[in-house]
């Protein structure tokens, strides 16, 4: 095929990808609108806009600005983070069933949060978040260090998966032992384990946002190297890639993204697992497009699940983590049974 014939085809692919990107942005915007207006107290769109642009202190203004806007913002940033982290994790491990929790992030955050209650008497949500983030970072660092033991040139996908499974199991056992000894720790762990973006103020978003932004930047920097790794380590090395550095950048990005999200929202199951597959069906295997697609799909999915949780059991609501599990479990079964899954 000549260069003159290839160029129009490449332009067509780029145009299609950009169009899909705009559609996903519109889906996230629609999710934001639904999240702001739908709940135990429905708020008309005009009133919601008025509350955002010219608040007068009315009941609708308080509901929108104090409750739903922070909740929606946290849903967007957490969905972005978990979607991108899942795509990175599946790319680096070459495992279509991998998710960010494979690095021990989830159990590391849980252990640190309940330990802070027992040892330091931490009681505030913001205090729990900082301890949870520190635990997630330390756990993933431990997994990465264990994955390097006995290896040459850095951890491999197999050693990372094995180390992550071992560290997660160990931390889960410790966490279970702690919560059995302390009622307050049990209550915090039980609420955190369900996964929720409710009852989080705007200060929570600002606390985790720098870590998520840093993780997103590292993820996009990691995309070209991950494309090279998808061709095989020998080919990637021949193309001049520093494989240990590429993996280290990817693991750091996953840790920052999933650690901050898990610390703030709890264990939001299936987002990092199913979102990359949905995004990959739209973008293909080019991580320069797969990563932003995954982030937008994750944000839209998380907002939609949260809205569903508000309306299925009035006047109460289901936590978003529960809704995600109900939506994700059937998808997981379909994924396992598919004869021709999209290749990583």
In the prediction, which pLDDT does 140 show?
85
> Domain locations in the chain?
23-52+64-337
Q: pLDDT tens for residues 32-70?
A: 999 999 988 889 999 999 998 888 888 889 999 999 999
Entry pTM: 0.90
Report the C-alpha gap between 94 and 157 in whole angstroms. Answer: 7
Residue with the larger pLDDT of the pair 222 and 99: 222
In the predicted model, is pLDDT for residue 25 greater than 90?
Answer: yes
Q: pLDDT tens for residues 120-154?
A: 777 676 777 888 888 888 888 888 888 877 666 56
Show the tokens assigned to 78.
């957490």
In the predicted model, is pLDDT for residue 334 greater than 60?
Answer: yes
Contacts of 303 (CB under 8 A, 6+ apart): 28, 31, 32, 34, 35, 72, 75, 76, 79
Q: How far, in whole angstroms, is CA 334 from its chain's centroid?
A: 21
Assign 186 a pLDDT band (cuts: 50, 70, 90).
Answer: confident
Report the C-alpha gap between 136 and 138 in whole angstroms. Answer: 6
Contact (Cβ atoms closer than 8 angstroms) between residue 267 and residue 322? no
Q: What is the mean pLDDT of the chain?
A: 86
Q: How far, in whole angstroms, is CA 117 from its chain's centroid?
A: 25
In the predicted model, is pLDDT for residue 5 greater than 60?
Answer: no
Q: Is 41 helix (H, G, I), strand (E, B) or coil?
A: coil
In the prediction, which pLDDT does 103 show?
83
Which contacts qualify for 331-340: CB closer than 8 Å, 24 or more apart?
A: 331/270, 331/274, 332/270, 332/273, 332/274, 335/96, 335/97, 335/274, 335/277, 336/97
Assign 21 a pLDDT band (cuts: 50, 70, 90).
Answer: very high
Assign 291 a pLDDT band (cuts: 50, 70, 90).
Answer: very high
Q: pLDDT tens for residues 213-256?
A: 999 999 999 999 999 988 888 888 888 888 889 988 998 899 89
Report the C-alpha gap between 193 and 179 in whole angstroms. Answer: 12
Contact (Cβ atoms closer than 8 angstroms) between residue 181 and residue 118? yes
In the prediction, which pLDDT does 123 show?
67
> Which among 206, 190, 245 is positioned nearest to 69, based on CA atoms?
206
In the prediction, which pLDDT does 192 show?
76
Residue with the larger pLDDT of the pair 122 and 303: 303
- Residues 92-96: what's their mean pLDDT? 83
Domain formed by 23-52+64-337, architecture: Orthogonal Bundle (1.10)
- Residues 300-323: what's their mean pLDDT? 90
């Amino acid at each position: 095929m000549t260069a003159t014939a290839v160029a129009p085809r490449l332009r067509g692919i780029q145009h299609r990808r950009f169009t899909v990107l705009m559609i996903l942005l519109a889906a996230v915007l629609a999710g934001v609108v639904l999240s702001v207006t739908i709940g135990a107290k429905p708020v008309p769109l005009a009133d919601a806009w008025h509350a955002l642009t010219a608040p007068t202190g009315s009941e609708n203004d308080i509901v929108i600005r104090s409750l739903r806007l922070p909740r929606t913002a946290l849903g967007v940033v957490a969905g972005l983070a978990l979607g991108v982290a899942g795509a990175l994790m599946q790319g680096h491990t070459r495992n279509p069933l991998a998710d960010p929790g494979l690095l021990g992030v989830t159990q590391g955050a849980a252990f640190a949060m309940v330990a802070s209650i027992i040892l330091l008497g931490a009681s505030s949500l913001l205090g729990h978040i900082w301890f949870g983030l520190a635990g997630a970072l330390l756990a993933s660092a431990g997994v990465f260090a264990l994955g390097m033991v006995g290896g040459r040139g850095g951890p491999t996908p197999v050693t990372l998966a094995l180390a992550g499974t071992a560290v997660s199991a160990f931390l889960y056992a410790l966490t279970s032992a702690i919560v059995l000894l302390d009622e307050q720790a049990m209550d915090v762990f039980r609420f955190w384990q369900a996964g929720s973006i409710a009852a989080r103020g705007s200060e929570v978003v600002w606390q985790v946002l720098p870590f998520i932004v840093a993780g997103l930047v590292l993820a996009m920097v990691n995309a070209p190297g991950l494309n090279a790794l998808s061709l095989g380590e020998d080919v990637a090395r021949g193309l001049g890639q520093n494989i240990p550095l590429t993996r280290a950048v990817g693991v750091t990005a996953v840790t920052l993204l999933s650690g901050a999200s898990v610390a703030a929202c709890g264990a939001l199951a299936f987002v990092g697992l199913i979102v990359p597959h949905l995004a990959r069906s739209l973008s293909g295997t080019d991580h320069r497009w797969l990563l932003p697609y995954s982030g937008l799909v994750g944000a839209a999915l998380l907002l939609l699940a949260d809205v569903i949780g508000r309306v299925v059991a009035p006047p109460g609501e289901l936590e978003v983590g529960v809704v995600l599990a109900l939506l994700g479990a059937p998808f997981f079964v379909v994924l396992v049974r598919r004869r021709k899954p999209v290749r990583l």
